[in-house]
Amino acid sequence: MLILLPPSETKTRPPEVGSPPFSLEDLSLPALHGPRETMLRAARRTAAAADGGTRLGVPASAPELVGRMLHLEAEPAAAPLRVYSGVLYDQLDPAWIPTEERRVLIQSALLGLVDAGADRIPAYRLSAGSSVSRLGSVGSWWRASLRPVAAELLGEQAEGASPLVIDARSGSYRSMMAVRSTRDVPVLAISPVQERGGARTVVSHDAKRYRGLVTRALLAADTVPSTPDEVVDVARAGLPEGLRVELEDDALVVIDPVD
């Protein structure tokens, strides 16, 4: 089973003492090494510009983030689940250990895609909606490099014991790397809704929390699902009381009844 997660705008900088410096060469998915180098250079150029902080979305209260983007190769690095923070990642165990049957990949505006179990990343400031020097829109620029990676990942899943992809990403990151169901590999997008009086409305503000809850349930379960129906069963067993899960085509719908 492959789970795709979005990154988080908020990140926790790894401690300088005891954390290795960021190393681009040590990242998994070596096919992305060249594009990663290109994006890192563009991010540095953008940070060095007079309006770099604005273009990178750096809040006025944290101007030091611009300086860090200039020297990412010297920044301390840690496992992605320890760096990314926020509503979705608050639901996950930062000490999670991957297994052969469970893989978690996180979309990254800076690095394209990172492995939650194998990679070490710095706390950076860049999003899919950013515009960087000479490359333009970050999300759009990554599409060509990530397209063959997505195809390769689907091929790998088709040959595994759990030929499933669970897509917990937000819209901008789904657009950055499109992953769609094939004959051999269902791709299930987590779609939270609220239900009131039989009517359902899509959850937007708190969607990340629901996606984090489903991810936690799938990672903590004793068994690894191998079919969409089994995904529903595992999610139902692991979600907080009151939440329901249904399968609608390629959507894993999480239903939160409200009064």
pTM value? 0.97
Q: What is the pLDDT of residues 103-131, one digit of tens each?
A: 999 999 999 999 999 999 999 999 999 99
Q: 184 by DSSP, 3-state: which?
A: coil
C-alpha 209, offset from chain centre: 13
Is there a contact between 98 and 104 (Cβ–Cβ < 8 Å)?
Answer: yes
Average pLDDT over residues 229-245: 97
Identity at 171, one-letter amino acid code = G
Identity at 85, one-letter amino acid code = S
C-alpha 183, offset from chain centre: 24
Average pLDDT over residues 171-200: 96
Per cent of the chain over pLDDT 70 is 100
- For residue 255, how many other CB atoms are within 10 A of its CB? 17
Q: 105 by DSSP, 3-state: which?
A: strand
Residue 234 clears pLDDT 90, i.e. is over it: yes
Distance in angstroms (rounded) separating the CA atoms of residues 148 and 191: 26
Is there a contact between 190 and 211 (Cβ–Cβ < 8 Å)?
Answer: yes
Residue 5 banded pLDDT, cuts 50, 70, 90? very high
Mode of pairing for the β-strands spanning 165-167 and 187-196: parallel
Residue 99 clears pLDDT 90, i.e. is over it: no
Residue 100 banded pLDDT, cuts 50, 70, 90? confident
* Residue whose C-alpha is closest to residue 187's, from 213, 222, 223, 151: 151
Per cent of the chain over pLDDT 90 is 93
